[in-house]
């Protein structure tokens, strides 16, 4: 039996995901097409709705045409485990928990920064980044994290190696140590949001340096800031 996400929650979910004209939204289990249609009509996004039931898929396509967004909404009759939605920047779900868990590895393999919103059901031990309150049921937002676990060698603006960072990771939760001049110390306030890694540490002079790095595969770049003074950092894993 199909149950639709309430319209007010559809809007809240898409807003929480910061959906906009540059986004491609994939709605898994599209039903009557309401999420894909709202993404195009109200947020200017392109959308793909994947629906297994042929009658519901046909209804969703008709609804998209009636809403005047048939040129930006594509409804596919198919299996969410077989249809490719890897290019999506926003993924929406209203699926049973066991399906969420089956989809989780596929979602985690998507581009870091992809926003994922699920109505009513969670992703088990992958904790959401945001809770979206609803009248009856809540929704949950995750941001797909970059894979950052491992040893990173940090270089300054001249390319000289200045530190080694060891990172451990469970989903978006990160922690570890930084060794400057061979002396390791714990990272302070480490966080990961998509590709953006942040942490602080106490430097050799006792100053608290705030680090922000943009992670791209096995390389990262950004800055280490002490007050108003910032120096460029690059890092490579391995």
Convert the pLDDT of each residue in 67-99 to its tens digit: 999 999 999 999 999 999 999 999 999 999 999
Low-confidence winner among 42-46, 61-65, 221-225, 226-230 (lowest mean pLDDT)? 226-230
Burial class (CB in 10 A: 0-12, 13-18, 19+), 188: middle
- Identical fold, 7-143 and 150-237: no
7-143, superfamily in CATH? Vaccinia Virus protein VP39 (3.40.50.150)
d(CA 9, CA 118): 10
Domain map (residue ranges) of the chain: 7-143, 150-237
Contacts of 132 (CB under 8 A, 6+ apart): 9, 12, 13, 16, 117, 138, 139, 140, 141
- Per DSSP, the three-state class of 151 is strand
Mean pLDDT of the region 199-222:
95
Mean pLDDT of the chain: 96
Per-residue confidence band for 227, with pLDDT thresholds at 50, 70 and 90: confident
Q: Determine the CATH number of domain 150-237.
A: 2.40.128.20
What is the pTM for the complete model shown?
Answer: 0.93
Query: How many residues can be counted in the chain?
Result: 238
Checking if the pLDDT of 1 tops 80, the result is no
């Amino acid at each position: 039996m199909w149950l639709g996400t309430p319209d007010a929650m559809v809007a809240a979910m898409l807003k929480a995901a910061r959906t906009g004209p540059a986004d491609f939204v994939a709605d898994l289990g599209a039903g009557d097409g309401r999420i894909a249609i709202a993404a195009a009509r109200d947020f200017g996004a392109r959308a793909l709705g994947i629906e297994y039931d042929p009658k519901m898929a046909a209804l969703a396509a008709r609804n998209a045409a009636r809403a005047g967004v048939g040129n930006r909404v594509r409804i596919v009759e198919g299996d969410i485990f077989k249809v490719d939605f890897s290019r999506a920047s926003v993924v929406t779900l209203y699926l049973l928990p066991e399906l969420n868990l089956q989809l989780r590895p596929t979602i985690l393999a998507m581009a870091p920064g992809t926003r994922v919103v699920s109505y009513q059901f969670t992703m088990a031990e992958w904790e959401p980044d945001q809770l979206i309150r609803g009248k009856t049921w809540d929704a949950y937002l995750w941001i797909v994290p970059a894979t950052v676990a491992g040893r990173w060698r940090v270089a300054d603006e001249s390319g000289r190696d200045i530190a080694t960072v060891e990172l451990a990771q469970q989903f978006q939760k990160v922690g570890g140590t930084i060794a400057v001049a061979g002396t390791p110390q714990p990272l302070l306030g480490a966080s990961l949001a998509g590709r953006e890694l942040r942490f602080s540490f106490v430097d050799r002079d006792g100053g608290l340096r705030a680090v922000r790095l943009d992670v791209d595969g096995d390389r990262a770049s950004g800055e280490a800031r002490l007050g108003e003074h910032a120096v460029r950092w690059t890092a490579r894993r391995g």
